[in-house]
Amino acid sequence: MSDVLLEPRSAQQSRLGVIDCDIHPMLRSAKALHPYLSQRWRDHFDSYGPRTPAPFLRGHAYPKATPALSRRDTWPPAGGPPGSDLAFMRQQHLDPLNVEIGILQVLFPSVKDQRDLRLGVAMSTAVNDWQVAEWTEPEPRLRAAVSIACDDAEASATEIRRCAARRDFASVFLTPRTSEPLGRKRYWPIYQAAAETGLPIGIHTGGTNGHPMTAGGAPSFYMEDHHGNAIAMQSALASLIFEGVMESFPDLKFIMIEGGFGWAPSCTWRLDKHWARMRDEVAHVKRPPSEYIRRQVWFATQPVEEPERPRDLRTICEWIGWDRIVFATDYPHWDMDDPRHAFKVSMTEEQQRMIFNSNARAAYGL
């Protein structure tokens, strides 16, 4: 059967502006956050410092594949780590890839994983102010995600409401790996605030929560940690559904970022099948999980799936829905995707437009 489709075309060739749902800005140095912290917290930052439930203060328990987790050619010539230099980001990424809107996801320092919640709350406002001052204000193509110390849900709600007043912020930042599954009642003030302010939740892989990466203990290799982070998306999604978050907040949108998207159909089918058997346990979940997913969930593309038969990528997109897939690069990380080359399968012009642009507009309300 032949598809009447265009050959793979680069988004740039077709002059399509790309909405990139995952760009990682970095602090230039440990002290770069200080201007946004009060003296009391600068002192704390410099003394006891940020502390997460992990073995190392600065290094990674599962050492990454590359320095700063980044592509080897993303170190700014003027200095600083990858993602820390806006001029270089424009030159290397935003301009040549025709990024119309880029959504920032701040991973380091990890605000939501701070064991000292007061420090975490202070860091959240600082990180959000830093994003505006040094990224979204000077560069109108960029939007920020509201950083929150999620284990203090009330403070997080306050911060969401503060940031939502500015158009700089496109979403709220969370990860699947929180202290408890995302749907648990303790986090509901966050969903309340996000729903009220119209901000979607971007659930970005990662999180240091003190739990092992598997339900059968801690793995040995970065390869397991890396892939395991993507696997964690499935239980996060299950929690948001089975705890009733999606039922109670029908207008709240979720974007699953940096977990790839191939997992979504089989996960959806599994949730449906076993909800059908055990729905009496979760009577507050009034619809099949797939209905919530179709209604409220989008999947960002990176790391793009690389099936052995490229046409299976089209099958996955059909099962998820071409309108539920949003493009992301993950710049400057080592496994990032280039919009000109990531999709090794032909798509119609309409499908390209949806994946690279219009779906994200719908998901983020852009």
Partner 1 sequence: MTRHVVARCDEIPPGGRRIVMVEGRSIGVFNLGGEFYALLDRCPHQAGRLCLGDTIGLVQSREPGSYEFSRPGELLKCPWHGWEFDIRTGQSWCDPKRTRVRTYPVAVESGESLVKGPYVAETFPVSVEQDFVVVDI
Partner 2 sequence: MSAALAAPATELLRAIGPIDCDLHPAPPRMAQLLPYLDAHWREAMVTRGIDGLDLSSYPPGAPISARPDWRDAEGKPAAGLDSLRAQALDPWGTRIGILSCLHGSIAMYSEDMGAALARAVNEWLAREWLDHEPRLRASVTVCMRDPVQAAAEIERCAADPRFVQVLLLVNGDQPLGRRSLWPIYEAAQRHGLPVGVHAGSVYHHPVTSMGWPSYYVEDYVANAPAFQNQLLSLITEGVFQKFPELRVVLLESGFTWLPPFLWRVNKTWRGLRTEVPWIDRAPGEIIREQVRFTLQPADAPPGALEPVIEQMGSERMLLFSTDYPHWQFDEEGPLPAGLPEHLVPRIALDNARETYPRLRDIQV
Is position 55 an interface residue for partner 2 (rule: CB under 8 A)?
no
How many CB atoms are located within 10 Å of the residue 77 CB? 10
The DSSP bridge pattern shows strands 325-326 and 169-174 to be: unpaired
| Interacting partner of 338 out of partner 1, partner 2, none (Cβ under 5 to 8 A depending on kind) | partner 1
Q: Find the binder of partner 2 among 129, 151, 152, 243 (CB under 8 A).
A: 243
DSSP state of 262: T
When asked if residue 317 is in the footprint of partner 2 (CB under 8 A), the reply is no
Q: Which of 84, 110, 209, 346 binds partner 2 (CB under 8 A)?
A: 209
Asked if residue 292 binds partner 2 (CB under 8 A), the reply is no
Residue 340 partner contact from partner 2, partner 1, none using kind-dependent CB cut-offs of 5 to 8 Å: partner 1
CA torsion sign for 313, 316, 322, 327 is negative
Q: Nearest 5°: phi and psi at 80?
A: 85, 160
Is 119 a binder of partner 1 (CB under 8 A)? Answer: no
Q: Which of 13, 15, 47, 73 binds partner 1 (CB under 8 A)?
A: 73
**Minimum separation from the CB atom of position 298 to partner 2 (A):** 17
| Smallest distance, partner 2 to C-beta of residue 211, A | 5
To partner 1, the closest distance from the beta carbon of 309 in angstroms equals: 13
Q: Which is nearer to partner 1, 187 or 343 (CB)?
A: 343
Strand partners, 257: 204
Q: In the block, which residue shows the tokens 């704390």?
A: 44
171 strand-pairing partners: 145
Compute the distance between CA of residue 350 and CA of residue 20 in angstroms, rounded to an integer. 18
Residues 355/322, Cβ–Cβ less than 8 Å:
yes
What token pair was written down for 15?
């002059």
In whole angstroms, give the CA distance from residue 189 to residue 197.
12
Exactly one of 119, 160, 201, 236 binds partner 2 (CB under 8 A); that residue is 236
**162-191 binders of partner 2 (CB under 8 A):** 176-184
With respect to partner 1, which residue has the nearer C-beta, 65 or 276? 65
Q: Is 140 exposed, middle or buried (0-12, 13-18, 19+ CB in 10 A)?
A: exposed
Q: Least separation, in Å, of the C-beta of 222 and partner 2?
A: 6
Q: How would DSSP label each residue in 74-130?
A: -S-TTSSSTT--HHHHIIIIITTTTEEEEEE---SS-STT-SSHHHHHHHHHHHHHH
Does 303 participate in binding partner 2 (rule CB under 8 A)? Answer: yes
CB of 22 to partner 2, least distance (A): 17
Q: How many residues appear in the chain?
A: 366
User: From the list partner 2, partner 1, none, which binds 73 (C-beta under 5 to 8 Å, kind-based)?
Assistant: partner 1
Residues that bind partner 2 (CB under 8 A): 65, 176-184, 207, 209, 211-224, 226-228, 230-232, 234-236, 238-239, 242-243, 260, 262-263, 265-267, 269-271, 273-275, 277-282, 303, 305-309, 312, 315-316, 319, 334-335
